[in-house]
Amino acid sequence: MPLGPRSPLLPCAIPSPTATAFSAYHWRHRRIPVRIFSCSRHPCPPHVRKENAVNPSPIAFSTCDFCDEHKSAPPQQEFRVLPPVFHSYGGRSRFYGPVRTVKCHEDNSPVKAAVESPGHGAVLVVDGGASLRRALVGGNLAAAAERNGWAGLVVDGCVRDLAELQAASVGIRALGLIPLPTNRTTPGQTDVPVLIQGVPVVPGDWLYADEDGIVISRQPLHAAG
């Protein structure tokens, strides 16, 4: 039986001292940080290899727990929650990292430029003006994001090439799918403050996305280490 994202992990047969990671299964379902071993020689479940590929030191986190801790924080300041309008399309359902931003309207030039440059584990937040008319990200850009070490993309707009997005080991959240690409005629802006569904997001914020939603904070929310 193929291992799906909710399958329990099998213990790895050949420990590797150089590559360890927390179990994605335990993050999601028990929140117990169980260490597993990962190396290229043994039959680690594919989703674990994917989860380990981008961020070699993943952390356990829960957006619900973050919200419990910050529920009385003034809205739109230190701690923000994006509205529940984003769908998950990428090969990683949970991701986190420092925020970089681009702003564009039905032209994905700055998105392309960003994902073709080193991501260093950051999350690219794309202010696409919530347009549902053009796809700002597709399979090629998702593959570039994975290759260049981006943890994820949050697109206030649409994406396409669903099968390719799912195959990329990167988080991808967007409003919807549309097969129509952009025309590259209007350059956008990079690393500027943006408004995502009415929520302000600035470069250097921290973004955490899991199965329950997406939260943004001025400061990192996870414990160091």
Ligand X SMILES: O=C([O-])CC(=O)C(=O)O
* Binding-site residue ranges for Mg(2+): 161
DSSP 181: B
Residue from 184, 168, 206, 2 nearest 90 by CA: 168
Minimum distance from residue 111 beta carbon to ligand X (Å)? 8
What x-and-dash track marks residues 84-123 binding Mg ion by CB under 5 A?
A: ----------------------------------------
Using CB under 5 A, pick the residue from 161, 173, 190, 216 that binds Mg ion: 161
Find the binding residues for ligand X in span 178-197 (CB under 6 A). 181-182
DSSP 178: -
Residue ranges of the annotated binding site for substrate are: 138-141, 160
Q: Is 176 a residue that touches ligand X (CB under 6 A)?
A: no
The answer to whether the beta carbons of residues 97 and 151 sit under 8 Å apart is: yes
- The stretch near ligand X (CB under 6 A) out of 33-41, 58-66, 134-142, 145-153 is 134-142
The answer to whether the beta carbons of residues 156 and 76 sit under 8 Å apart is: no
The answer to whether the beta carbons of residues 138 and 159 sit under 8 Å apart is: yes
Cα separation, 154 vs 190, whole angstroms: 14
* C-alpha 104 chain-centroid distance: 19
* C-alpha 40 chain-centroid distance: 24
- The stretch near ligand X (CB under 6 A) out of 5-13, 75-83, 93-101, 131-139 is 131-139
Nearer to ligand X, 99 or 137 (CB): 137
Site for ligand X, rule CB under 6 A? 108, 135, 137-141, 160-161, 181-182
Site for Mg ion, rule CB under 5 A? 138-139, 161
